[in-house]
Amino acid sequence: MQGIQGEVFFVTGGAQGVGFAVAQAIGTAGGAVAIADISEAGVQAAVERLAQQGIRARGDVLDVRDGVATRDVVARIEQDLGPLAGLVPCAGITRTRPAESMDEDAWRDVLDINVTGTFYSCQAAGRVMLERERGVIVTIASITSFGGQPGRVNYAASKWAVAGMTKSLAVEWGGRGIRVNAVGPNAVDTPMLRKGVPERFVDDIMCDRTPLGRVARAEEIASVVLFLLSDSASYINGAVIPVDGGLTAGFLTHRQGRDYASTALEHARA
């Protein structure tokens, strides 16, 4: 894919889930990929899996809340793999609590990792790419960047912030050769989803209210990220693209949108 082949990309949160799927997609398209994650065992396993597929990869243990450490990782990537062409900051967490009883740690951890960590990653990668006036960043927003969810006020605040950050960086850096966009996934079938959301809720609520009737596969999110990283998206800048199976296309939906929710329409259908 043009703009990927032979280039170097940095993916945070790359040990599993969407992050690993993005790293794999980049490597399959001919790019070299550096992943970072807070789990040392996860990083090692992910790099081994990528290498087994013939993908040029390296890994670092990184807490994205540490701006200095993030800049150091970017420097090592450029030393070992070459000039950085793109960044996908996938590191993120969720801590579900009722708003009235949400403790300080649940609020702070989500905002620190999802917002501050994303900014530090963009800042560190942006600095080196701006020197060459060439590069691309794709952040990970959410359907929750377009609305709210009960029990996830911290997560919603963080993902609205990521969307705003994406647009601000696109405006600030677009004229200096750096495109910045975001994808906004619906629920994705990852360990974080299966660990944090009851299966009944996934089936009865998430899938029921999504027109395509299912959650996304990580590879489906990665394919849109790969497109945005490539030269095929060369005039897309500042966009937050829903990748949500149609969830945000409507409202008051039920049974994948087949409920007419109107007496007149229900009679017409009969």
**Which residues are catalytically annotated?**
155
Report how far residue 69's alpha carbon sits from residue 177's, in angstroms, rounded to the nearest whole number.
25
3-class SS letters over the chain: CCCCCCCEEEEECCCCHHHHHHHHHHHHCCCEEEEEECCHHHHHHHHHHHHHCCCCEEEEECCCCCHHHHHHHHHHHHHHCCCEEEEEECCCCCCCCCHHHCCHHHHHHHHHHHHHHHHHHHHHHHHHHHHHCCEEEEEECCHHHCCCCCCCHHHHHHHHHHHHHHHHHHHHHHHHCEEEEEEEECCECCHHHHHHCCHHHHHHHHHCCCCCCCCECHHHHHHHHHHHHCHHHCCCCCCEEEECCCHHHCCCCCCCCCCCCCHHHHHHHC
Contact in structure between 217 and 224 (CB atoms under 8 Å): no
Contact in structure between 23 and 86 (CB atoms under 8 Å): no
Q: Residue type for 67, please?
A: G
Backbone phi, then psi, for 147, in 5-degree steps?
-165, -165
